[in-house]
Chains A and B, each alone.
Chain A
Amino acid sequence: KAGVTQTPRYLIKTRGQQVTLSCSPISGHRSVSWYQQTPGQGLQFLFEYFSETQRNKGNFPGRFSGRQFSNSRSEMNVSTLELGDSALYLCASSFDPDTQYFGPGTRLTVL
C-alpha cells in the first residue's frame, strides 16, 4: 500500500497570506489528523477528521481550519499567516482507532 502523501513538501509565504496544505491518507483509512511541529513547542495536535467531519480539535486559533473530502483526502488551511506559523505540518492517517501513520510533512516558512 502507498503511504501517506503530503503536498507540497515545501512552501514559502509572507505574513498575511493564506496557505492550503494537502494530505492523502493510506487507502482505506478514514481518519486523518494534523500536527504542527516546531522547535519551541514540539509536536502539537491540530485537529482530526473522520468521514468528512471534524471530530476533534486542539488548542489552535480559528485561523487554522481544515476539511476532509469523501475520498478521505484532507486539506488544512491557515489564513492570515504569522511568523510563528513557520513549522513542519504533519498529517497522519489511521484505520480508526488504531495506530497513526505519518506522511513526510510540509515545511512552511513564513517571511
Chain B
Amino acid sequence: AQSVTQLDSHVSVSEGTPVLLRCNYSSSYSPSLFWYVQHPNKGLQLLLKYTSAATLVKGINGFEAEFKKSETSFHLTKPSAHMSDAAEYFCVVTGILTGGGNKLTFGTGTQLKVEL
C-alpha cells in the first residue's frame, strides 16, 4: 500500500518570497508522484509529475519538485510566490491496482496563503 503525508496543513508566505510545501511518501515499489493544485471552487490541475526519470521535476507556473528516495520526500518549491499561487496543493502517489489501471492516493492538502 502507498501513502503520502503532507507535513503542513497551512503555509503562509509573502509575495516574492520562496515557497516550500513538504511531502513524504510511502510505497513498496518505485512510485509515480504528482502535485496537483486546486483553486477555490475549481477542479484539480496537474502541476508536475515524477515517473522515475529525472529526480528534479519542473512543472507549470515556475514550480518544481525534487524526488529524494533516501528521504522518501517529494517537496514542492517555487523561487518567488505570486498572489495567484494562493490555493490548496495536494501531493499524490499512484498505486497499480490488481485489476489494472491505477488509483491516486491523496495527501490531506496544504493551503498556501500569499500575503502582500
Which of these, A4, A31, A35, A104, contacts B101 with CB under 8 Å? A31
Q: Mark A37-48, 1 if CB is under 8 A from B, else 0.
A: 000001101001
Query: Which of A62-70, A74-82, A93-101 has 4 or more CB atoms under 8 Å from chain B?
Result: A93-101
Contact partners of A58 in chain B: CB under 8 A = 103
Q: Mark B99-114, 1 if CB is under 8 A from A, else 0.
A: 1111111101100000
Asked whether, in the complex, the Cβ of B43 is within 8 Å of the Cβ of A90, the reply is: yes
Asked whether, in the complex, the Cβ of A43 is within 8 Å of the Cβ of B96, the reply is: no
Could you tell me the dominant secondary structure of chain B's interface residues?
strand
Could you tell me the dominant secondary structure of chain A's interface residues?
strand
Q: How many A-B residue pairs have CB under 8 A?
A: 58
Asked whether, in the complex, the Cβ of A33 is within 8 Å of the Cβ of B103, the reply is: yes
- Chain B residue at minimal CB-CB distance from A57: B99
* Docked pose: A98 CA to B44 CA in angstroms: 16
Contact partners of B102 in chain A: CB under 8 A = 94, 97
Which of these, B42, B46, B90, B101, contacts A55 with CB under 8 Å? B101
With both chains docked as a complex, state the minimum distance between the C-beta of B64 and any C-beta of chain A, in angstroms. Answer: 17
| B residues neighboring A (CB under 8 Å) | 34, 36, 41-46, 49, 90, 96-97, 99-106, 108-109
Minimum-distance CB pairs A-B, first 5: A43-B106, A102-B44, A104-B43, A102-B43, A55-B99
